Structures are given as structure tokens and as C-alpha cells.
Structure 1
């Protein structure tokens, strides 16, 4: 089947004859957070069912209860729980990571590298990093892993909230060694995502691309938050503003964020966390400084996110918080407080009544 026909079918690449054997492939997964849990679950259901050419998905998470929950949900025929990171690194052919921040990512990869130096692999091994990290860290990980015998590193961040990951509709970005990309793309589409964007061999390009995308999303969320705040002051109902957003900015992702703000739903347990937003905003600002390309809206959004965190921290100390973890749409708190409104509850707003 030609590459053109495969593209029309939604398959990003044909499967190559190499690298590695295609029977008894052991896939490992490290990190079962808000995104990783759904991604690993969907991969196990699609790629590693009984009778397939792949072994059950081997998973590890810092808190064991997430791995146990996944195994209970899918069964031992699809999920094996690894004892530790060393087991994942040394026994798996493809190792996929989805982790919370740069520090954890670096720690995990350094551990994997140490184990593989002690027990060098005898066949090809591909590491796939799907978190949102600084581009320079991706370069460091590539250097760390690619120096090891038979090891390849791919930068592979994804676009989409947990509900999108749940539906296996993520947009996948890839950069790294070509044959490894073909192999991994075959595994991830359509099991985990709907499409792959290939950015070439420079592994720093994929995380840069991801941060560019997040800058557009974050900037739009900030603008929508400001519109809701002004609407509250002017006596325009949130539902009306939400309808308007659907007319002029009908992107599904933005509509999801707008809906949360309209309903004062800032629960980050099932969304994109405030801390994750602060991390991404900080990474974007790092790039703007590096390339002397200012993004004032991201500077504002970063301030709003920090303001929301400060308010939430105070509420937790007082025991008055509504949620333990905030969604990044809670950045609206910054504009609301600046306008003299309650940070998280629009129903407490009183419209300004102009005198005749």
C-alpha cells in the first residue's frame, strides 16, 4: 500500500520492516496522570489485545494505585504492572513517558539511562516522550538516550485535554529519527490520537511547536476570560457571551474552556491543571526571551494564573476552597478581582447600573 493511500486512510506512515522485530513487542508506559491514564488505556485496548503481536502493556506510576486501577479496569491480559522504572527500561522495546513537569521527566530519563548502561540492550529500543517540556530538555534527553547502544529518542508531545485523550482524538507531534517515528506512529494512530504532525529529525522542534500551540490557546482563554468579566460588569449574561463565542470562535477546545467559565466550573481534576498552565506559560515566556519575540498576552495570562494560584492557596489555608485542584481556566480570577468581582463565582456579580 502506498504512502498516499495510507495518508488518505488516516494512517500517518506505513510500517517499516525495521527497526526491530515485530513479534512479541513489549511496550512500556511511565506516568498515569490525567492524560497518561487515558492514553495508556487506549493503547492497551487497541494495540495489545489477546492474540495480537504485542505483549500486554507494562505500566509504572509513582503512586501504585493508578496502575492498579488501570489493571482492574482492563484486566491482566492487557496490563502488567512493573515493579519499578528499571523493569520498564530494561525489558521494554518501546518506552512511552507522560509526566507532570521537566524535573520529573529528567529524573526518569536519567534513571533509565543508568540502568541501560549497566545492562546494554541487544536490540532496538525507542523512548517516546509525550509531555510538554522545554525544547532544550528534549535535546538533552536525545543526547542522553541516543548515546546508548541501540537506543533512539523521539519527542512526541500531544495536543488535547483529558476528555480528548479519553476519546483517542489527540493531535500528535513528532520529531526524531525517521524509522523510529514510523514505528511509533503506527502504534499511536488511531490507538491514542487521530493524526501525526512530523517536524523532522530535530527533537527540539516538536516541543517548540507544542508551546506555540499552547500560546495560542492560552491567549484565547485569557481574552475569553476578560470578555466574561466585562460582561458581568455590564450586565450581559454568561450564556449570551457563550453563544457569541460559539458564533465567532467555534473551535471545540475554546468552546470547552468557555463553557467552564460560563458555569464557574474550575475543577482541575478532570481538566488541565492550573499548575500545568503556569508551567507552560513559563516555558512559552522562556522561548519569547530566547528568540526576542515578545508575547504580551502570554505575560498577562501568566500573571492571571499566578494570581489565581495565590487566591486558591489562601482559600485552602482558610478551608473555603471549592476544589483541591484548579483548572487553568481559573485564570479568570485575575481579571475578575481586578474588576472588583468575586474571583470564582460570577453569580455574585452585580452589574453596574448607570444613572439616567
Structure 2
């Protein structure tokens, strides 16, 4: 089957979905689209796509289904019920769901697809709608590896940023996407705290921007990531910076923020973590041992406990 013969259905035409669907259509695939608000499909219909009135109608005869919905509920609603796409999905059809959803619902959807002889691929994407319009999203893929390779030409139309195959478990792709968003949203919040902190102390935003740019491109950041990854918190006598030093600096950060009325919630959390580290016998370790407190709070063994 040539690419032009491959029948693709697309479910969900919000800003992100519309941009992804346009890339698929522009690469010559036959495209049927569905959206709860039909008028959002007008530009795609004018460009050659066919509009379906229900998810069930949209997937009839489809080789590949791509969905870009909002949340767990919208994904399950589109799948199930009298007009759900599972009522009409073809045997061996491949469904790639680009929506950011919970890993539990990803597992549920995989089970439902298997019951109908179809393949479910979790394919959440990383990037904003403007990046989607350029076809440069990053895709995280989890599911049947053979099915992923079969549908790769469609995924490539919008994934110029890269395709990362997480493995054969769809849930893992959603966990990785949530990890990416966790890093992003944590840094956005941190940026806000840093700018407020510096502004209260009379430091110009341009200087803060310069410092942030320098730090986020500095190799030391990834060096600390590697320490946490490898759980390498050893600190030879007289070298490095210890946990007690980290606690001292975090307390100084909090006191400095207090002086100008700037709360620093990240620092409050880090103070608690450093106190926990000391209480768990980690006072002599490198201050990056802070990274192990998430393990403690999750019931995972600490570095010191594993050595006993």
C-alpha cells in the first residue's frame, strides 16, 4: 500500500489537533476528520479532508487513527458508547493517541483496543501549537513496536522534533510526557520566584535573564543530574559541598526572601528535604543527595540503606 492509499482518521481539532491534521493532509494522506464542534474542521475540509459526524463514522475503513483530545474523559468518551470509534474500528487498525492522559487510562484503552483486534499506541507530543504547525513536535511512543513502525510515516509528518520510542508499554509513554511537563512547569514556577526575588532586591530583569541563561547552559546542571541518576553522592573529605552547607544556603535564601516579603516555596520544600537528609544519616554526603529524598518519600531505599 502506498502512502497516498493509506486511510487516516483524525479525532479532535483544537489548536494542536488542527495543526497536526494539516501536516498529515499536506503530506498526501487520505484524511477523515471529526470534532465535537464541526465548524473547526472547515479549513481542513476546504483543503480536501472529509468531515465525519461521529467518531464511529470517522474511523470506518481507517488504517490509521490519530487522536488529539483533551483529557482522560474525552478519550474514553470518544472510544465508547453507541457512536464511539470502538464500535467501528477495523481489525489491525492502529490508533495513535497524542493526548496527554494518565497512564492508567492508557492501559485501559490498550485493553479495549485489543478486544477489538486493533492496536493502541500512546503517542503524546511535546511542543506548542506553533511548533505543531511547523511539523516539529517531539513524540513519545509506547505500544506494539511493529505497529509503531507501520504507522511511522504518518507520525513523521508532525514529529520533526524527534520520535522517541519508550517501549512496548503505552503507559510508559504517558509517564515520560508527564515527566517532561513536570520539568517544564517546575521551571516556569521557579523562574517566577527568581524574578520576584531579584526584583524585590532591585536587580534589573535583564541581569536576571543573563544569569538564568548562563546557568541553564552550564554543564554543572547536567553534572548534578548525572549524580542523581547514578545516586553518586560521595564527598571526599574536604571536597565538594555538603548537605549541611546546602541547608545553610537554603535557610539564607528563605531569610533573604523574608526581608523583602517574597515567599520562596521551592526553598521551603528544599529545607524540609535537607533536614530529612540529615535525619537519615546523609549529613556527610554531597549536597546533591537532596535528590534522594524523593526516594525516601516514595518508600524506595536510600543510598545509605542500600550499603548496609
Q: TM-score range by the shorter chain?
A: 0.5 to 0.7
Aligned mate of 1:207, from 174, 178, 181: 174
Whether the 8 Å contact between 2:106 and 2:171 is mirrored in structure 1 is: yes
Aligned residues: 221
Where does residue 227 of structure 1 map in the other structure?
194
- Give, in whole Å, the separation in 2 of the partners of 1:242 and 1:223: 13
The 8 Å contact of residues 62 and 89 in structure 2, kept in 1 or not, is answered as no
Return the match for 2:112 from 144, 165, 175: 144
By relative contact order (CA 8 Å, sep 6+), the higher-ranking structure is 1
Structure 2 CA distance for aligned equivalents of residues 125 and 202 of structure 1? 18
**Structure 1's 115 and 131: CA in aligned 2 closer, same or farther, altered over 3 A?**
closer
Aligned to 1:127: 95
Partner of 2:5: 24
Query: Is the Cα contact below 8 Å between 1:86 and 1:111 reproduced in 2?
Result: no
> 8 Å contact 1:28–1:92 — kept in the other structure?
yes
Partner SS state of residue 96, structure 2: strand
Bigger mean CA offset, 60-69 vs 135-144: 60-69
RMSD: 2.4
Closer, same or farther: CA 191–211 of 1 in aligned 2, 3 Å: closer
Task: Tell me the alpha carbon deviations over residues 179-198 of structure 1, each in whole angstroms, 9 at most, x when there is no partner.
Answer: 21002222221444332111
Kindly state the Cα deviation for residue 23 of structure 1 after the two structures are TM-superposed: 5.9
**CA distance in 1 between partners of 2:66 and 2:112 (Å):** 16
Structure 2 gaps of 5+ residues are 219-260, 264-308
- Matches of residues 1-356 of structure 1 in structure 2 within 5 Å? 24-46=5-27, 48=28, 54-55=29-30, 57-72=31-46, 75-76=47-48, 79-111=49-81, 116-117=86-87, 119=88, 121=90, 123-149=91-117, 151-250=118-217, 339=262
Alpha-carbon deviations, 1:12-58, whole Å to 9, x = none?
Answer: xxxxxxxx886621101111112111111112112x2xxxxx42x21
Return 5+ residue gaps in structure 1 as ranges.
1-19, 49-53, 252-337, 341-356
Query: Max radius of gyration: which structure?
Result: 2
